[in-house]
């Protein structure tokens, strides 16, 4: 890794522990910073991490965010992405002119490897993973990092010039970058999301646009030309724009023509040979092909990935068949659009399991997509709102339960051979579960108990 001098002897506050905060604290300490970590969770909840940090000589404050903590003279705050900018400590830092960054910026400043960065409202994880698989099959030594579950700075520490870091980035992470500049950036799409965090749609879109704000003419910006907004955003970058489209014939990007995937006029693969299910995944595939080709992947490596890649965990993941019922885990569907896309992937009758964190919106937009849903089982804070949408859609069987495990147990007796039982919550998980992964794992465990 590069031994950046930007943090040497600087007083740095790491706000929020979790995985990224823990890694950031260790890295900053290694870079010679004077580090303090502050987390609102108690010492007991953070015991193992706190003890390891304290053994390194890192100060840790647990249980609350002290109002006057910034009076200790910090010059940088490294913020956990999940902490909103409305947090009093962050507000105070911005008033004082203190730099507020996320751990991704640290990773960039120490990395010897170039970055391929992926963001968007939907499709980030699938696209990131698929790019990685294509580059890996081409023996290009990729590494994978970011919002996909692997802390970016941990990956950047071990990355060399021979590597490429493929990183998934949320709008939360992108708000906290300064110098971060990927060689290749991907914007999969833009829809309404996380407005409870950002406050306005404009602020959300601006955060997404940060992925290309530092790019120059020698870099590439890949985006979705099926969306007017993405085409408009592409006009703002200095990078070379590489479009993808499922509807248009593009000589300068990735597209579908006559049942084949093309990149810059070259025929790559027949759609019938691609294993990844769902019409929505065609956009993810085109974005991945464009990124992989620009990063040096061979056609054979791309074809190999597309004919073997079944998708990522918790994203329309086939769990198993139980007595002719097909169980799918789509726990990563944390908004209405993702659930729409999941439902569009099935022609069979569906029993939909949905619900979670209430972000203040209704679910009427989901109603036209519930035609194949024979029953809906709801849980979490939004169950009553989802029940109303199901009633408007004319669904006869609507049941509210306490949690995902109970939902599985109630779904099976309603099903018949050939039915799909789909967990696609249309909501974030934080009302009941630590994250969407935990929610999905509980679903999988419940399915296995049935068998």
The CATH T-level fold of domain 104-306 is 3.40.1190
The pTM is what? 0.80
Matching residue, tokens 């990007």: 253
Q: What pLDDT shows up at residue 56?
A: 94
Determine which helix (DSSP H) or strand (DSSP E) holds 444, and give its type and residue range: helix 436-450
> Stretch 263-280: mean pLDDT, rounded?
90
Q: What is the pLDDT of residues 204-224, one digit of tens each?
A: 999 999 999 999 999 999 999
Of residues 420 and 172, more confidently modeled = 420
Q: What is the pLDDT of residues 352-367, one digit of tens each?
A: 999 999 999 899 999 9
pLDDT(279) > 80: no
Q: What is the pLDDT of residues 386-438, one digit of tens each?
A: 999 999 999 999 999 999 999 999 999 999 999 999 999 999 999 999 999 99
pLDDT(196) > 80: no
CATH, domain range 11-101: 3.40.50.720
Q: What pLDDT shows up at residue 283?
A: 95
Beta bridge partners of 261: 256, 269
Q: What is the pLDDT of residues 229-243, one digit of tens each?
A: 999 999 999 999 999
CA atoms within 13 A on the CB side of 348: 17
pLDDT(451) > 90: no
> Stretch 193-200: mean pLDDT, rounded?
70
3-state secondary structure of 368: helix
Of residues 191 and 301, more confidently modeled = 301
Q: Tell me how long the chain is.
A: 451
Q: What is the pLDDT of residues 34-90, one digit of tens each?
A: 999 999 999 999 999 999 999 999 999 999 989 899 999 999 999 998 888 889 999
| Residue numbering of the annotated binding site for ATP | 120-126
Q: What is the DSSP letter of 316?
A: S
Q: Answer for the pair 266, 257: CB distance below 8 angstroms, yes or no.
A: no
pLDDT(226) > 80: yes
Domain boundaries, the chain: 11-101, 104-306, 317-450
Q: What is the pLDDT of residues 296-323, one digit of tens each?
A: 999 999 999 999 997 788 888 889 999 9
| Residue numbering of the annotated binding site | 120-126
CATH, domain range 317-450: 3.90.190.20
pLDDT(147) > 70: no
99, two tokens:
């730099």
Share of the chain above pLDDT 70, in %: 98
3-state secondary structure of 216: coil
């Amino acid at each position: 890794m590069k031994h950046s001098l930007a943090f040497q002897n600087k007083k740095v506050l790491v706000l929020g522990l979790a995985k990224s905060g823990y890694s950031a604290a260790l890295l900053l300490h290694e870079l010679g910073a004077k580090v303090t970590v502050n987390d609102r969770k108690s010492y007991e909840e953070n015991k193992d991490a706190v003890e390891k940090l304290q053994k390194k000589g890192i100060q840790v404050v647990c249980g609350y965010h002290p109002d006057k903590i910034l009076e200790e003279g910090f010059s940088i705050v490294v913020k956990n992405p999940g902490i909103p900018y409305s947090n009093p400590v962050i507000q105070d830092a911005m008033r004082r002119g203190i730099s507020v960054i996320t751990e991704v910026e640290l990773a960039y400043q120490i990395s010897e490897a170039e970055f391929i960065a992926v963001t968007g409202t939907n499709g980030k994880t699938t696209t990131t993973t698929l790019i990685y698989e294509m580059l890996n099959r081409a023996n290009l030594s990729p590494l994978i990092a970011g919002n996909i579950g692997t802390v970016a700075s941990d990956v950047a520490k071990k990355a060399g010039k021979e590597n490429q870091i493929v990183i998934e980035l949320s709008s939360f992470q992108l708000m906290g970058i300064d110098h971060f500049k990927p060689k290749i950036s991907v914007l999969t799409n833009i829809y309404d999301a996380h407005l409870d965090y950002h406050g306005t749609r404009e602020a959300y879109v601006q955060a997404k646009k940060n992925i290309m704000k530092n790019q120059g003419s020698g870099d590439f910006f890949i985006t979705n030309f099926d969306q007017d907004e993405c085409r408009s955003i592409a006009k703002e970058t200095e990078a070379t724009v590489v479009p993808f489209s499922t509807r248009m014939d593009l000589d300068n990007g990735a597209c579908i023509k006559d049942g084949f995937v093309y990149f810059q006029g070259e025929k790559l693969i027949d759609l019938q040979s691609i294993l990844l299910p769902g019409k929505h995944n065609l956009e993810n595939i085109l974005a991945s092909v464009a990124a992989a080709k620009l990063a040096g992947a061979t056609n054979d490596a791309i074809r190999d990935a597309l004919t073997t890649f079944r998708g990522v965990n918790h994203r329309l993941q086939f769990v198993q068949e139980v007595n002719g019922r097909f169980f799918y885990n789509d726990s990563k569907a944390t908004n209405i659009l993702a659930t729409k896309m999941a439902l569009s992937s099935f022609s069979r009758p569906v029993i939909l399991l949905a619900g979670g964190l209430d972000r203040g919106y209704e679910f009427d937009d989901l109603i036209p997509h519930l035609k194949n849903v024979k029953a809906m089982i709801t849980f979490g804070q939004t169950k009553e709102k989802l029940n109303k949408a199901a009633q408007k859609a004319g669904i006869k069987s609507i049941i509210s339960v306490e949690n995902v495990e109970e939902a599985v147990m109630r779904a099976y007796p309603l099903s018949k051979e050939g039915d799909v039982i789909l967990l696609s919550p249309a909501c974030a998980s934080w009302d009941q579960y630590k994250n969407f992964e935990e929610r999905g794992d509980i679903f999988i465990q419940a399915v296995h108990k049935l068998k």
